Structure 1
């Protein structure tokens, strides 16, 4: 029987996030919206005055912090409401107004950086001496000074701020198109029964033991993207062009340099990741050969990559059971960490199930009031790990927001995937430890291998694709559906080897990846995964001392560079060693699965 997706109104309240924890209703949101507009006008009144005195500069920074806190609530309410149902025009309009307001704020404060950088360093030191409270912002100011060569004049910064709203267009258009407009044909199983294909159902369908259903869902997904491939290629081209424009305007060598500089990550980290994975490609080829052998197929296809290789062991896990397992798995993290987890479980931080129009996938949004987690939960092992993953993000945000002042509360995206993946690694270790059934253990190891494949290898492949298309734009080459598909197809051949059929449909996968609109985000899944594997092993081996260092990392926000924060926790990501070590574990797990299933 085909599973149907409910309307939002049909979903029980207990499975919906409590957005009213931010504002009771839309009227309250509008009140704060108007308040922020007034604060924006006041912000602009400091133009030309930051060098007046330490008191004036401190007053400006405090206003900026207060504005940021209110803006956090405005953003989280509007975007969480919109993501509940992307067809709702009320919240589409609200997000549009908010986007305009953010652009106004950026324009109003465009004077800040050029003005601060124009102040003599001796004068600044005098400010710090005169007003000790201003010392809170010393690190913030020193970071601005490090990027002086990439800072424009006040007039130019104002133009860049005015362009901000337009530069969001590729991501906004793609999101609405993919989540609210795109439909897929039903998939058909080996018995002739129909199955609804959505963003939320696609992975469960291609994980099915029914190969006919897997192939049908695979072709259904990419047939829809094929119809609109030229339109989506235009969206992606617009994304790379705006990144290139920003990099050139700010005198960066490339958009990669511009993106990583904002988060204090050396470009060498990005290239080291790709190089390390290329040097360890034989592990992936070995895994593909084992998968082909265990599935017993003459030809392995791309739609065979997600289905478990251990037959008759499809683990069905309810949301309640998933919560229990995640809680138990995180016992090594201590009582405080798990109490935050339970607070999220019991107080509706989570929007659990798919409904029509709801944003696909999963994410965590670190609101000041408390984090909000979007899921599209199915009763699968994958969704259990997604719960652990997103609650890792949520607890990271919780610690940062509670520990750091506003100016340093947002951790940078380079470390964003560490806490989430560490949770996943601890969950896997727990399940492997508590599972006595040989077949279930093999099933779990296969799942663990899939985490390596999809997070370390696949996300690195995404990162390589993103780098290539941005370099093409920077070299004056146009992006079309045909050349994007050709690049993507060749990367699949490189990453998967000769023991699998690289189906032509997979060349269109680039068209369904929203992260390509996030500005060099995807590589951090792979680096984060490598760091998380190392940290989870330290926590299990060393206990409380390792946990204490890890909590310091979670509580750090952006109070130090991400490389330094991770060194505090015990991992050096400036070296390729964590990536190489993680891939060695991948190789060991392949051998263990081969032995278990021999």
Structure 2
């Protein structure tokens, strides 16, 4: 079943077997309401520990265990509410549940706002004695060490409590954008090239941009960005509000920049971020070669931004039903071993995945997991090769969670954002390597090489461009410059000129693309797609070459969770992200495959 009809089906029209089963999270809305009320009443148990956790190892241990238990309940309730809401973002009852679950988190963290200041009254010497006195406390060693590390940026108990009370309000810009983008925004219909009108949706947009019909691509491109442009001032205000919010927390916690504030959460040096941008800049001539090849093979006098996604090779890849997509992914990921494949099959066969687009469904794709319950994947499957890679990508996230949760306790299970994209991108690299090996014709191989080039373009180059946009805009706000729509569009258009080079016509409409990127509301997140791809290729190359110990290193990484700093975890598994080597090595892979494609034509 593919949703490539003229309009989206309603949620009720999607077959049950093609939807995820949320009952392991929560049985129904009534159970949700009852469980949430109980969770709200339990919060006072945490508040009662105030002033006690610095008295003894036993008190600290008891508090941390109670906090974990309550957080796990909150995780399950929130996950259920937001996934239920994402099925149909116009479902007001689900939105209300999501709001209540979010308020539970706010109340919970408000009740423990004193935690860090009180832990910071302890010294490393006291903690070492307590670890020896109370063996169970060892489970929290990394958490406690990390808390002490951030002492400079932790405020007094009263100040921390005040900041925690602002948490609910702080989600305002992101919530407004998400509701506007997913529930309220409607795009026009265009001619699909066969005389039929087809509605543009978030899920269909890339498929339309991949069309061999240039007029379809142009019409979809213009219609989508003109729609966003009609709301440009509202969208600029929402983005600016989010940047201002981030700057407030940055200054409140005495960081020198919002970039530093976000990266310090996971002990990542800001040099990792700036080094990524500098390294990608060094390889922009390779990107320009790719753009020139795209222009040549498309046979156009001018290459426009709406020509970026269409395959440059005349190869008619058949429509890929979801069952076939699953088989392709299983074969492609075989180098990861039978234990990995068994988990994949379990997810495929037990309704972990919400497969198809429907009216009101959240756009894009994601994987989410609550400790103690299997992961879930949201897709908007459209039956093309890119969607097969999306399946492999999201299942990479899911199986990363499976391995971590099976090996770590709750407090050490939530792997850090910095490493979150490695397993997913390694899956993509293994899959494309498998498909290239089994390509039966030069046309098929060229098509796959083009797809690989597009993966690099979309991940290492494009996400780094996004990262640079965020860096510039947050720095401007910190310097007191207003982030108006015109300012944002100028920054974004100039970055497109820099990253795509002289052979690309930078259409005026692309200047509005910043307005449709949800990740910009989670600042300094997207760079990790690029660093993640670099690390993923480092792991993937070792696994495919059969290097002794490579698969063991990778599985150790998957099991690591947040039991140690992510930079140190990667180093211990053979990948050092504090150097330029992983990114340089990945971009050399791009350069090599590009040279192979250039020789064909």
Structure 1 residues 544, 17: closer, same or farther in 2, change over 3 A?
A: farther
Name the structure 2 match of 1:160.
163
Aligned mate of 1:550, from 533, 547, 554: 554
- Distance in 1, matches of 2:192 and 2:152, equals 59
Q: What aligned pairs does 1:473-512 form with structure 2 within 5 A after superposition?
A: 473-512=477-516
Measure how far apart 1:500 and its partner are: 1.2
Name the structure 1 match of 2:78.
75
Q: What aligned pairs does 1:194-593 form with structure 2 within 5 A after superposition?
A: 194-368=197-371, 369-542=373-546, 545-593=549-597
State the Cα RMSD in Å: 1.2
Measure how far apart 1:360 and its partner are: 0.1
1:36 aligns with 2:39: yes
Measure how far apart 1:30 and its partner are: 1.9
TM-score by length of 1: 0.98
Q: Secondary structure at the match of 2:120?
A: helix
Aligned mate of 1:62, from 58, 62, 65: 65
Measure how far apart 1:32 and its partner are: 2.0
Q: Secondary structure at the match of 2:367?
A: strand
Deviates more, 1:2-11 or 1:213-222: 2-11
Structure 1 residues 119, 213: closer, same or farther in 2, change over 3 A?
A: same
Check the 8 A contact 1:2/1:194 in 2, yes or no.
Answer: no
Check the 8 A contact 2:74/2:104 in 1, yes or no.
Answer: no
- Distance in 1, matches of 2:351 and 2:25, equals 12
Check the 8 A contact 1:2/1:193 in 2, yes or no.
Answer: no
Measure how far apart 1:86 and its partner are: 0.2
Measure how far apart 1:71 and its partner are: 1.4
Measure how far apart 1:2 and its partner are: 5.1
Aligned residues: 597
Measure how far apart 1:541 and its partner are: 0.9
Name the structure 2 match of 1:46.
49
- Distance in 2, matches of 1:509 and 1:393, equals 26
Measure how far apart 1:543 and its partner are: 5.5
Structure 1 residues 125, 578: closer, same or farther in 2, change over 3 A?
A: closer
- Distance in 1, matches of 2:529 and 2:497, equals 21
Name the structure 1 match of 2:101.
98
Structure 1 residues 48, 504: closer, same or farther in 2, change over 3 A?
A: same
- The superposition leaves residues 427-451 of structure 1 with CA deviations (integer Å, 9 ceiling, x where unpaired) of 0011011111110110000000000
Structure 1 residues 116, 185: closer, same or farther in 2, change over 3 A?
A: same
- Distance in 2, matches of 1:248 and 1:306, equals 40
Measure how far apart 1:129 and its partner are: 2.6
Deviates more, 1:235-244 or 1:586-595: 586-595
- Distance in 1, matches of 2:172 and 2:596, equals 47
- Distance in 2, matches of 1:264 and 1:388, equals 29
Check the 8 A contact 1:308/1:314 in 2, yes or no.
Answer: no
- Distance in 2, matches of 1:325 and 1:312, equals 18
Aligned mate of 2:179, from 176, 183, 197: 176
- Distance in 1, matches of 2:127 and 2:325, equals 53
Check the 8 A contact 2:6/2:197 in 1, yes or no.
Answer: no
Name the structure 1 match of 2:27.
24
Aligned mate of 1:15, from 4, 18, 31: 18
Structure 1 residues 562, 124: closer, same or farther in 2, change over 3 A?
A: closer
Name the structure 1 match of 2:7.
4
- Distance in 2, matches of 1:386 and 1:444, equals 15
Measure how far apart 1:25 and its partner are: 0.9
- Distance in 2, matches of 1:343 and 1:250, equals 44
- Distance in 2, matches of 1:189 and 1:120, equals 67
Measure how far apart 1:587 and its partner are: 1.2
Q: Secondary structure at the match of 1:20?
A: coil
- Distance in 2, matches of 1:389 and 1:135, equals 34
Measure how far apart 1:565 and its partner are: 1.4
Name the structure 2 match of 1:89.
92
Measure how far apart 1:24 and its partner are: 1.4
Give ranges in structure 2 of 5+ residues lacking alignment: none
- The superposition leaves residues 66-107 of structure 1 with CA deviations (integer Å, 9 ceiling, x where unpaired) of 112111211110010000000001110011111111111111
Measure how far apart 1:591 and its partner are: 1.5
Q: Secondary structure at the match of 1:195?
A: strand
- Distance in 1, matches of 2:166 and 2:57, equals 32
- Distance in 1, matches of 2:358 and 2:264, equals 39
TM-score by length of 2: 0.98
- Distance in 2, matches of 1:121 and 1:332, equals 44
Measure how far apart 1:314 and its partner are: 3.4
- Distance in 1, matches of 2:349 and 2:448, equals 28
